[in-house]
Amino acid sequence: MRKLLLLLISAAFFSCSTQKLEEQAKIDTFFDLEGTLDIVITDLVEKRARLHKKTTVNNEVEDVSLSFNSVEEWKSQLELFYEADINKVGLGNNYRTETLQAFDGIEKTIHSAVNNKQFVKSIETSVRDGKLFTVRILASDENFVYSIENEFILYFNHFKKKLALDHFTINTKEEMLFKKGLELKVEAQVVVD
């Protein structure tokens, strides 16, 4: 019984210290992509939203409607966006930020990689009248064996003044030496009844 109790206490201690390490590994320098996704996902779960997803892989199309009951299921659908978050220790000096005034009152903030070593090349947010309506992420990598180019875009609306995910797109083009290239396109629409 003591061994079991000791094991449970140890597990609790290590899980708490792991969470603390994760919190310490985050910085608050750039756009809070992870926090924004957490907010909209909580809302999607509360509204019991569904996802209509069209996936095209090398001209083969799959069309599905998906229902999710938990935050974890939604997070798995948006995993690529979570992985693109640049608010991490060690990345603070690897990106420069500039804000541009675009047409029609749109303000764009762009976090661009200082060098090509970073997988995420840029995160661009577009805001109109103080409200976020798109987040565009460009990520790429290449070496002598393969090259990959990604574009991930989140589209938001503000139903009843509340930030809500409307739809998202994922475009990936991958080329490998001695292997047929891959083109992936995902168009996903959030459906709320």
Residue 83 has pLDDT above 80, yes or no: yes
Paired with 111 in beta bridges are 97, 123
Q: Phi/psi at 69 (nearest 5 deg)? A: -110, -5
pLDDT: which is higher, 169 or 193: 169
Answer with the residue of higher pLDDT: 76 or 28. 76
Task: Reply yes or no on whether the pLDDT at 20 is more than 60.
Answer: no
pLDDT confidence bin for 27, thresholds 50/70/90: low
Average pLDDT over residues 88-113: 86
Query: Smallest Cα–Cα separation from 154: which of 106, 114, 187?
Result: 187
- Whole-model pTM: value is 0.82
Confidence of residue 16 (pLDDT cuts 50, 70, 90): very low
Question: In the predicted model, is pLDDT for residue 33 greater than 60?
Answer: yes
Least confident of 1-10, 36-45, 52-61, 174-183: 1-10
Nearest to 48 by CA among 185, 157, 161, 191: 191
